[in-house]
C-alpha cells in the first residue's frame, strides 16, 4: 500500500501536554501515572509495534524477574493506583493464589502479562504508529511529531502529525551483537542468534549437534540452563563462554541494592562526568551478574549428571573473548578465542551460537536530528540530561524532552532498572506539572553517598540531597 505524502494536522489546534514515543515498561509506567493525575493532562503515546510485548524471546518457562513484585509500573510512586500488579491479580481472581504462593519475585511471563493488561486497558496508547521525526515549531512554541500509521502487516497506511508541548522518549534498547559475529548474524546462513530471539529459534537450536552460549549475565545463564536441561546426560555438547573473569553472582546484598535508590541516582548525577564514566564499567556486577538461584540451579543440574560417574559434556569458560569468527563448510561456525589472563588462543567449532551479549541504548540522534545545535552535549558527544530527566536544550526551545532509559551516563546503573521506573515517572510528572501530584521521599537509603560540603544549610542526615541544592 502506498502511503499518503501529506501529513494531516490534528483535529484540534490545541497541542497535547505530553506525547510519549515508545511504549515499553518505562513509558507505560509514565502513561499509567499520567492517567492518575488529579488535574488530567492531554497525553498520548505511540509505538510502532502492533501490541505490547516485553522481551518475548526470553520468557523462558520458570524464569523470574530480578526485582520484587513491588517494582511494578506504579506502586513505588502510588500504591493506590488501579494499575498495580496486585490490582491486576485481583481482576484475574488470583490474589489468594498469589498470597499463598509467597512469591516476592514473579515470573517474567507474569510481568509481561501484567504489562499487556495495562496496555490494553489504559486509554491514550496507540500501537502501530511509527514516529518518523520531531521538530520544534518556534512560532507556536510546540513540538511537531510526525508519525506513520501501520497496518497489521507493518506496512504504511496513513501519515499523521501531533503537536505537543512536551515529549517523553522511551525508545528503549536494542540487542547488541559483537562486531566479530555481526557478519554471521546478519547473513543468517548459520544459526548465530541474539538471546532476544532465543525462544523463536529454540527448537532449531536443540537440533544442533553442538551449541555455544556467549555471555555471562542472567540471560546467558538462563539459556544455558534451559539448554542443559533439554540435552541428554553425557551428550550435552554445550559450551558457555564469558568475557568476565568469572560466572559471578549479581550483587544482591541489602546495602549493595541501595545503588538502585533515588539517593544514589542523585549522588551519581552530581559527580563530574569523568568520574561517572570511570564508575559505570566497574559496577557490572550490580546488573550483569547472575542471580543466586540460577547459579545454584545450574550447579545442581551439572552435579546431578555426575551421580552415575563421569562428567557432563559441558564446558564453562570465563575470561574469554571472541577475536574473530567465520563459517566452516555450510553450517558450522569457527570461533577464534583468546583467554585474557593466560594470553593463550584457540579455536572452537560449533553448530550454533546464542549471543547473550546484552542490549545497548538506542541512539537518540536520528530522532532528534532536526534539533541540531539546540541539543547540548557532554565532552563525549552524549546528550546532557538534568536531574528531572530532561534533555539540556537551548533556551529558545521552551518545551521539555524527557528521556527514559537513555541516561546511564548521567544517572548511573539504575537507569534500566525496573525498580526505579515509577519513581522516575513521578519525577517527570512532578516537574512537568509544576506541582507534586506524587510526593516522593526525601531519603531512600541507609547509605550516605559522599560527604556533605560545609556551610550548605543542608541537614546532615540528608547529605545526598546537596547536589540538588547546589543546582545543575
Q: What is the pLDDT of residues 65-105, one digit of tens each?
A: 999 999 999 999 999 999 999 999 999 999 999 999 999 99
Q: Is the four-CA dihedral 264, 266, 269, 274 of positive or negative sign? A: negative
Place 469 in a pLDDT band, splitting at 50, 70 and 90: very low
Share of the chain above pLDDT 90, in %: 87
Across all residues in the chain, what is the average pLDDT? 92
From 416, 472, 404, select the one nearest 34 (Cα to Cα).
Answer: 404
Residue 266 cell numbers, joined: 542523585
Q: CA–CA distance from 67 to each of 107, 134, 166, 287, 416 (Å)?
A: 10, 34, 30, 11, 12
Which of 8-22, 54-68, 188-202, 409-423 has the lowest average pLDDT?
8-22
Rounded to two decimals, the pTM is 0.92
Q: What is the dihedral of CA 180, 185, 188, 191, to 10 degrees?
A: 100
Place 377 in a pLDDT band, splitting at 50, 70 and 90: very high
Q: What is the pLDDT of residue 8?
A: 57
Range 131-141 average pLDDT: 96
Place 12 in a pLDDT band, splitting at 50, 70 and 90: low
CB atoms within 10 A of CB 83: 25
Q: Is the pLDDT of residue 2 over 70?
A: no
Q: Is the pLDDT of residue 3 over 60?
A: no
Share of the chain above pLDDT 70, in %: 93
Strand duo 43-47 + 125-127: pairing: parallel
Q: Which helix (H) or strand (E) holds 212?
A: strand 211-214
SS3 call for 310? coil
CA 5 – CA 27 distance, rounded (Å): 29
CA 462 – CA 442 distance, rounded (Å): 8
Q: What is the pLDDT of residue 288?
A: 86
Ramachandran bin of 444, using left for φ above 0, alpha for ψ from -120 to 50, beta for the remaining angles: alpha
Q: What is the pLDDT of residue 466?
A: 32
Place 329 in a pLDDT band, splitting at 50, 70 and 90: confident
Range 208-227 average pLDDT: 97
What are 420-462's pLDDT values in tens digits?
999 999 999 999 999 999 999 999 999 999 997 755 444 444 4
From 77, 62, 25, 13, select the one nearest 427 (Cα to Cα).
Answer: 77
Helical H runs in 327-454?
365-368, 408-411, 421-433
Place 116 in a pLDDT band, splitting at 50, 70 and 90: very high
Q: What is the pLDDT of residue 7?
A: 57
Strand duo 142-150 + 125-127: pairing: unpaired
> 152 vs 213, which has greater pLDDT?
213
CA R_g for the chain: 24
In a 13 Å sphere around the CA of 54, the CA atoms on its Cβ side amount to 21
CA 43 – CA 445 distance, rounded (Å): 33
Amino acid at each position: 500500500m502506498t502511503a499518503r505524502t501529506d501529513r494531516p494536522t490534528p483535529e484540534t489546534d490545541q497541542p497535547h501536554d505530553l506525547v510519549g514515543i515508545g511504549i515499553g515498561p518505562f513509558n507505560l509506567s509514565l502513561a499509567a501515572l499520567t492517567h492518575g493525575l488529579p488535574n488530567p493532562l492531554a497525553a498520548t503515546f505511540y509505538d510502532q509495534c502492533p501490541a505490547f510485548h516485553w522481551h518475548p524471546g526470553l520468557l523462558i518457562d520458570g524464569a523470574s524477574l530480578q526485582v520484587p513484585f513491588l517494582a511494578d509500573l506504579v506502586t513505588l510512586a502510588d500504591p493506590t493506583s488501579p494499575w498495580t500488579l496486585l490490582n491486576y491479580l485481583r481482576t484475574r481472581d488470583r490474589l489468594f493464589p498469589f498470597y499463598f504462593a509467597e512469591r516476592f519475585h514473579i515470573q517474567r511471563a507474569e510481568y509481561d502479562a501484567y504489562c499487556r493488561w495495562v496496555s490494553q486497558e489504559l486509554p491514550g496508547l496507540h500501537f502501530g504508529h511509527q514516529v518518523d521525526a520531531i521538530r520544534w515549531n518556534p512560532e507556536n512554541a510546540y513540538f511537531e511529531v510526525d508519525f506513520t500509521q501501520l497496518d497489521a502487516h507493518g506496512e504504511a497506511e496513513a501519515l499523521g502529525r501531533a503537536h505537543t508541548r512536551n515529549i517523553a522518549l522511551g525508545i528503549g534498547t536494542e540487542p547488541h551483537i559483537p562486531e566479530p559475529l555481526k557478519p554471521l548474524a546478519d547473513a543468517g546462513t548459520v544459526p548465530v542468534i541474539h538471546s532476544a530471539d532465543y525462544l523463536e529459534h529454540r527448537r532449531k537450536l536443540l537440533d544442533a549437534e553442538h551449541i555455544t552460549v556467549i555471555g555471562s549475565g542472567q540471560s546467558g545463564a538462563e539459556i544455558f540452563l534451559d539448554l542443559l536441561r533439554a540435552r541428554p546426560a553425557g551428550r550435552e555438547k554445550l559450551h558457555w563462554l564469558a568475557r568476565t573473569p568469572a560466572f559471578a553472582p549479581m550483587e544482591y546484598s541489602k546495602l549493595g541494592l541501595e545503588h538502585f535508590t533515588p539517593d544514589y541516582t542523585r549522588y551519581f548525577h552530581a559527580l563530574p562526568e569523568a568520574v561517572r564514566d570511570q564508575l559505570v564499567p566497574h559496577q557490572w556486577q550490580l546488573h550483569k551478574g547472575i542471580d543466586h538461584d540460577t547459579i545454584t540451579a545450574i550447579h545442581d543440574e551439572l552435579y546431578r549428571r555426575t551421580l552415575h560417574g563421569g562428567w557432563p559434556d559441558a564446558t564453562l569458560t570465563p575470561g574469554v573473548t571472541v577475536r574473530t569468527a567465520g563459517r566452516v563448510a555450510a553450517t558450522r561456525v569457527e570461533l577464534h578465542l583468546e583467554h585474557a589472563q593466560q594470553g593463550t588462543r584457540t579455536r572452537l567449532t560449533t553448530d550454533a551460537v546464542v549471543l547473550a551479549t546484552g542490549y545497548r541504548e538506542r541512539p537518540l540522534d536520528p530522532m532528534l536530528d532536526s534539533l541540531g545545535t539546540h541539543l547540548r552535549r557532554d565532552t563525549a558527544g552524549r546528550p546532557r540530561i538534568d536531574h528531572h530527566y530532561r534533555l539540556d536544550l537551548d533556551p529558545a526551545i521552551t518545551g521539555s524532552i524527557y528521556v527514559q532509559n537513555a541516561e546511564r551516563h548521567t544517572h548511573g546503573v539504575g537507569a534500566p532498572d525496573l525498580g526505579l521506573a515509577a519513581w522516575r515517572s513521578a519525577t517527570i510528572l512532578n516537574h512537568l506539572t509544576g506541582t507534586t501530584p506524587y510526593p516522593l521521599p526525601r531519603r531512600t537509603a541507609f547509605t550516605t553517598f559522599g560527604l556533605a560540603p560545609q556551610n550548605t544549610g543542608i541537614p546532615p542526615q540528608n547529605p545526598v540531597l546537596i547536589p540538588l541544592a547546589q543546582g545543575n
